[in-house]
Structure 1
Amino acid sequence: MKRSVLALLTAFTLVALAAPARSEEVVDLGGGFFGGGKALLNKPAGKARAGLVLLTGGDGNIGIGSDGSVARSGNWIVRTRAAYLRSSIASITLDAGADPARAVELMRGIAPRVIVVAMSRGALKVAGTLAQRPDGIVFTSAILDQARSAIGDPSRLPPTLLVHHRWDTCRLTLPESTVAFQEWAGNRARTVWIEGGSSTGDPCQARAYHGFIGRESAVVAAIVGFAGSLR
């Protein structure tokens, strides 16, 4: 019985995260090593009500090919990139070398509100987008101590969402850093805590609590809700 319930829940999660049929567009957002500045753009069939600029963790190298293939798709932010289409939200997923500031500018022509979503080490790129005045920032499993130093002053932040797993044991993204960032940002930020899921291997990699394994749909829902709250 337990196996049947688990199988049913797994199937439900896969359906919830599955993207509707779409044509993903490869765009170039500047030169660079690895991916050469490529990004993957997903747009809903109708008018987009928001646009997300998705910044992955690590070195940012996910290996986007000219045909739209992705060599390294284990990161949750890459695996769920098209899940937002069901909520009429566009997204652009950046490879290493792609310019996040240019991505914000591109999304301005697609959606009325633009939100930068940064995973782990991708948080260190957020400060470089603030001159483009994104409408919101989402930090997920983020390296917040260094991000805070790069931002400098909380007054520079637009409305900000912190999404963090309570059991994250990566030494660079311990839950305490989220609490400290929330106190620093004050009413400019709010925090959503994630629990549950599974964790294996390196605590700083995609298969650990750090990568929200089994809780991807909760993270997507938090980001969709935040996008809907912006005016």
Structure 2
Amino acid sequence: MSRLRIITIMIMFVLPACAGNAYAAAERLILPLETRPGVTVKVLLQTPDVPSKGTILLFPGGSGARHFGGSGSGISLGNNFLVRSSGLFVQKGYATAIIDAPSDHADGMSDAFRASPEHAQDIRKIMDALATRSAGPFYLAGTSRGTLSAAYLASVLPQGQVAALVLTATLGSVGSLPLDAVSVPVLLVHHIQDDCRASSPADAAALTGRFVKSSQAVFVEAAGGSSGSDGGRGKRRTGGAGGPCSALTHHGFLGMEDKVVTVITEWLSGKPAPKRISD
């Protein structure tokens, strides 16, 4: 196993108070980890101020690159659904690890790389490093193009390394992956008004039948929230600022972040997921 180089930037921050069992303080750590010879992956680890219920690896959409940044004055988060909602998972008692693109794909990960042995090797090394810093079990969660990473990794990582798979705003192209090799429980959450051409609700719902080895594959439809500035005006596009595939639209569960995170965390804790959530 190659040496893991860990550089830590530690910042204490206070999360806003919320109803229920909320954990008000946490650590944020940026960990540049060496995963292959000469290749590093930055991971933003956020942990609650109590023993965590587990660690959720978060795979953002888009290029997968630069969804967070750090400086001497703090750490900034991007608009991607899982990234901007990461603090909500911490409030529910889970640690989160936001995965950046590797240094040899600094401008972003292609779909082919997201389903490659190199990507799997990176994540195995990251999980080995996180195991010394954050409590298991480990879960994989992806949104939009990040669902390609999460679903592929769940199909190839060694049995017992991952406890569950969560897919949100799932791309239809996830159906090209070996989903019949996924043996962990699977939760899919999708907005019924997601107008992104690459992630139709019908295609996402149909994927539940592909997880034949999983003990359960549950589909939850979301309704409500906000379409954003122009994401609901009728054009079906594959991306672009302000388009229906962007983060601050139904595709990114705008206005429903807390409800979606609550469904995910309650399901991870063993509670049954509802068929539908709304605001």
Q: TM-score, normalised by structure 1?
A: 0.81
2:165 to 137, 144, 153: 137
From the superposition, tell whether residues 48 and 19 of structure 1 become closer, same or farther in structure 2 (CA, over 3 Å).
closer
User: Gapped runs of 5+ residues in structure 2?
Assistant: 1-15, 104-121, 229-241, 272-279
The C-alpha deviation readout for 1:54-90, integer Å capped at 9, x for no partner, is 01000012142365523x6111211111222222211
Local SS of the residue matching 2:101: coil
Residues 1:192 and 2:200 are matched in the alignment: no
- Tell me which residue corresponds to 2:196: 170
Task: For residue 188 of structure 1, report the CA deviation from its aligned partner.
Answer: 2.9
Counterpart for residue 74 of structure 1: 79
Cα contact 2:24–2:49 (8 A) shared by 1: no
Structure 1 residues 42-51 or 58-67, which shifts more? 58-67
What percentage of aligned pairs have identical amino acids?
27
Residues 1:136 and 1:59: Cα distance change in structure 2 (over 3 Å): same
Structure 1 stretches of 4+ moved >4 Å: none
Distance apart, 1:216 and its partner CA: 0.3
Which residue number corresponds to residue 216 of structure 1?
257
Higher strand residue share: 2
User: Alpha-carbon deviation of 1:15?
Assistant: 4.9
Normalising by the residue count of structure 2, what TM-score does the alignment of the two structures yield? 0.68
User: Counterpart of 2:75 in 1: which secondary structure?
Assistant: coil
CA distance in 2, matches of 1:39, 1:88: 19
Aligned to 1:90: 95
Pick the aligned partner of 2:137 from 91, 113, 121. Answer: 113
Show CA shifts across 1:95-130 (max 9, x none).
222833333334444223111010100111121353
Q: How many residues align?
A: 212
Higher-RCO chain (CA-CA 8 Å, sequence separation at least 6) = 1
Three-state SS of the structure 2 residue aligned to 1:91 is strand
| Contact kept? 1:194, 1:218, Cα under 8 Å | no
Write out per-residue CA displacement over residues 173-219 of structure 1, whole angstroms, 9 at most, x where no aligned residue.
00011121012225531011111011133000012100100000011
Q: Which sections of structure 1, spanning at least 5 residues, go unmatched?
A: 1-13
- Does the Cα contact within 8 Å between 1:159 and 1:188 map onto a contact in 2? yes
Structure (1 or 2) with the greater helix fraction: 1
Identify if the C-alpha distance between structure 1 residues 215 and 22 changes in structure 2 by more than 3 Å, giving closer, same or farther. Answer: same
AA aligned to 2:244 is P
The question of whether the paired residues in 2 share the 8 Å contact of 1:38 and 1:64 is answered with no
In structure 2, distance between residues paired with 1:108 and 1:146: 31
